[in-house]
């Protein structure tokens, strides 16, 4: 069993054929965590004993021939998805000791298949950031080069899968937090259609943008997790009924069209990153896809709109952390001081920045100029996508204009950090699904760093991402995902 190369599909076959047990498989991943996580710091906590018990329970089902697709599959869980009785800190000091009192719906569905939970993974505090450097518990390192960031905010989950410390993982994506770390670490990351996976039990960052999704080594692995966790949930008022799904329909004899918003790609994208993107596109062209230029004129406003809407919603959602209801409470003489002192010592600098910006853009004097304007432009972005999908099956862009950057390189310059989100945030504003697939590599300081290719589908078109995504995997010039240096 090679924990680096193994996929969920391989493991499923081997478990059902009794080549090894779910306990053997879990132990192999626990050993790998012991060996490697000292250098990576993907995990905030490893649930060794619980994971072994879950694996044994999975073995009983496998022995009875009753296994489901994820029975006995060892997964990592981002530190903001609730599992009853376990700590979920959202990478924050303010929730350091907070224990969940119920299971997130996604977790409940995974438990129903007897998946195994290895531990909770590091992240930027409250899912705010792009590098995992905003964690209150220290940064995670990129397994391809430990002087570099793994991306963020689901950096712990992506690094764990990349370094063979979990077979797959759950993450969340508000503006790229599953796709960008997956690209930086050379694994596959899926941000599903908004509403297709329940947000019940996901600690909220920006509710109209957040979505739970999957990180795995292959498109097929991301899909099998998505198949398990998707579905209508009455506990989430934004949950979608199954009828909103769409797929490619009858594909026989039809040429699929991939739209490329060329005017949007060049600015700020490093030349070799663009070259890798073009190489994958050309390979898809050779495989029979028709590659067409499209216009998405409002996309140039996406970053500005995102960095108004995100802080607005974050400032509202984080108001509940007041030192009274959850987690940390710093005592003081009066209630106002309890609020102030708790929030001052519990929140890190980026979280405070978002709360300040969010409060400002929502304030009576400025809401018309900022928040309401941003909401109106968000509609234009949504319409741009809807219009584009009238003529193409899928849209392709790079995931990031740069490869994994050095730890510390952007942490003192928030605007430089925000700018790296240019290709991922429009997807969350529009609520459409997208996937990041490793496709090629660039060299920095003598090390090969993975590059991610983004496919975006229309609302409800997650299935389209899987079918075309598998062709991207075949077209990918240099698969880098299986050779991290650590």
Residues assigned a catalytic role = 78, 177
Return the closest-CA partner of residue 232 out of 190, 189, 199, 210. Answer: 199
> Which of 74, 129, 259, 469 forms a contact with ligand GLN (CB under 6 A)?
129
Decide: is 431 part of the binding site for ligand GLN (CB under 6 A): no
> Which of 103, 421, 462, 471 forms a contact with ligand GLN (CB under 6 A)?
421
> Which of 42, 203, 205, 328 forms a contact with ligand GLN (CB under 6 A)?
205
Residue with tokens 């700020």: 268
Closest to ligand GLN by CB, 158 or 205: 205
Give the C-alpha separation, 153 to 133, whole Å: 9
Closest to ligand GLN by CB, 164 or 176: 176
Residue with tokens 């993450």: 171
Q: How far is the CB of 171 from ligand GLN (least distance, A)?
A: 9
Q: How far is the CB of 135 from ligand GLN (least distance, A)?
A: 13
Decide: is 127 part of the binding site for ligand GLN (CB under 6 A): yes
Q: Let me know: does 202 contact 144? Beta carbons within 8 Å.
A: no
Stretch that binds ligand GLN, among 124-132, 239-247, 405-413, 465-473 (CB under 6 A): 124-132
Q: How far is the CB of 425 from ligand GLN (least distance, A)?
A: 7
- Phi/psi for 471 (5° steps) reads -70, -35
**Beta-carbon contacts of residue 464 (< 8 Å; ≥ 6 apart):** 246, 247, 248, 393, 394, 457, 458
Decide: is 76 part of the binding site for ligand GLN (CB under 6 A): no
- Omega of the bond leading into 153 within 30 degrees of 0 (cis): yes
Q: How far is the CB of 172 from ligand GLN (least distance, A)?
A: 6
- Two structure tokens written together for 11: 């493991």
Stretch that binds ligand GLN, among 49-57, 67-75, 123-131, 458-466 (CB under 6 A): 123-131
Q: Where are the alpha helices (DSSP H) in 318-438?
A: 335-346, 349-362, 371-388, 414-419, 425-430
Q: What order do you get walking across the sheet with 168-172 strand by strand?
A: 43-46, 116-121, 74-78, 168-172, 212-216, 188-191, 434-444, 447-456, 394-398, 257-260, 290-293
Closest to ligand GLN by CB, 173 or 384: 173
Decide: is 125 part of the binding site for ligand GLN (CB under 6 A): no
Residue with tokens 């999957």: 214
- Phi/psi for 260 (5° steps) reads -125, 115
Decide: is 177 part of the binding site for ligand GLN (CB under 6 A): yes
> Which of 150, 151, 176, 261 forms a contact with ligand GLN (CB under 6 A)?
176
Closest to ligand GLN by CB, 76 or 115: 76
Decide: is 310 part of the binding site for ligand GLN (CB under 6 A): yes
Q: How far is the CB of 482 from ligand GLN (least distance, A)?
A: 26
Give the C-alpha separation, 166 to 154, whole Å: 14
Closest to ligand GLN by CB, 73 or 318: 318
63 burial via Cβ count (<10 Å: 0-12, 13-18, 19+): exposed
Q: Where are the alpha helices (DSSP H) in 94-215?
A: 105-112, 155-162, 179-185
Residue with tokens 């979280």: 351
Stretch that binds ligand GLN, among 26-34, 172-180, 462-470, 473-481 (CB under 6 A): 172-180
Decide: is 143 part of the binding site for ligand GLN (CB under 6 A): no
Give the CA count within 13 Å in the CB-facing half-sphere of 270.
17
Decide: is 440 part of the binding site for ligand GLN (CB under 6 A): no
Closest to ligand GLN by CB, 173 or 471: 173
Q: Where are the alpha helices (DSSP H) in 64-200?
A: 105-112, 155-162, 179-185
Decide: is 175 part of the binding site for ligand GLN (CB under 6 A): yes
Q: How far is the CB of 247 from ligand GLN (least distance, A)?
A: 26
Decide: is 173 part of the binding site for ligand GLN (CB under 6 A): yes
Decide: is 153 part of the binding site for ligand GLN (CB under 6 A): yes
Please report, as ranges, the residues that interact with ligand GLN according to CB under 6 A: 127-130, 153, 173-177, 205, 310, 421
């Amino acid at each position: 069993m090679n924990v680096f190369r193994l996929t969920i599909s391989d493991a499923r076959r081997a478990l059902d054929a009794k080549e090894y047990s779910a306990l053997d498989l879990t132990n192999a991943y626990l050993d790998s965590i012991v060996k490697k996580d000292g250098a990576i710091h993907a995990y905030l906590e490893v649930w060794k004993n619980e994971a072994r018990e879950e694996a044994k329970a999975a073995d009983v089902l496998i022995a009875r021939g009753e296994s489901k697709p994820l029975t006995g599959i060892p997964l990592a869980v981002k530190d903001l998805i609730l599992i009853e009785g376990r700590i979920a800190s959202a990478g924050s000091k303010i929730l350091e000791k907070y224990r969940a009192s119920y299971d997130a719906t996604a977790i409940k569905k995974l438990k129903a298949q007897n998946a195994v939970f290895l531990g909770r993974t590091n992240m930027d505090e409250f899912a705010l950031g792009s590098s995992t450097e905003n964690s209150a518990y220290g940064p995670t390192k990129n397994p391809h080069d430990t002087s570099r960031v793994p991306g963020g905010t689901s950096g712990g989950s992506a690094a764990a899968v990349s370094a063979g410390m979990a077979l797959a993982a759950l993450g969340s994506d508000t503006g790229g937090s599953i796709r960008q770390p997956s690209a930086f670490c050379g694994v596959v990351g899926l941000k599903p259609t908004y509403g297709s996976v329940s947000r019940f039990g996901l600690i909220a960052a920006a509710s109209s943008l957040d979505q739970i999704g999957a990180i795995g080594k292959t498109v097929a692995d991301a899909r099998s997790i998505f198949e398990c966790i998707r579905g209508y949930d009455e506990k989430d008022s934004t949950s979608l009924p199954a009828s909103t799904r769409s797929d490619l329909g009858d594909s026989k004899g039809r040429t699929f069209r991939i739209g490329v918003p060329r005017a949007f790609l060049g600015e700020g994208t490093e030349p070799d990153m663009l070259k890798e993107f073009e190489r994958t596109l050309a390979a898809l062209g050779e495989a029979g896809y028709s590659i067409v230029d499209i216009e998405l004129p409002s996309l140039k406003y996406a970053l500005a709109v995102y960095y108004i809407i995100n802080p607005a919603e974050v400032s509202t959602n984080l108001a509940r952390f007041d030192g009274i209801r959850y987690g940390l409470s710093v005592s003081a003489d009066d209630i106002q001081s309890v609020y102030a002192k708790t929030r001052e010592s519990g929140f890190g600098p980026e979280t405070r920045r978002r709360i300040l910006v969010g409060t400002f853009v929502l304030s009576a004097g400025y809401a018309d100029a900022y928040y309401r304007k941003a909401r109106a432009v968000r509609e234009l972005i949504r319409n741009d996508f809807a219009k584009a999908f009238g003529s193409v099956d899928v849209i392709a862009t790079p995931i990031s204009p740069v490869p994994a950057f050095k730890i510390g390189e952007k942490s003192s310059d928030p605007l430089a950090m925000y700018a790296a989100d240019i290709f991922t945030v429009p997807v969350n504003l529009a609520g459409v699904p997208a996937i990041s697939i490793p496709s090629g590599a660039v060299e920095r300081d003598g090390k090969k760093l993975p590059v991610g290719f983004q496919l975006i589908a229309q609302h409800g078109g997650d299935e389209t991402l899987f079918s075309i995504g598998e062709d991207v995997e075949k077209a990918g010039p240099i698969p880098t995902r299986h050779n991290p240096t650590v």
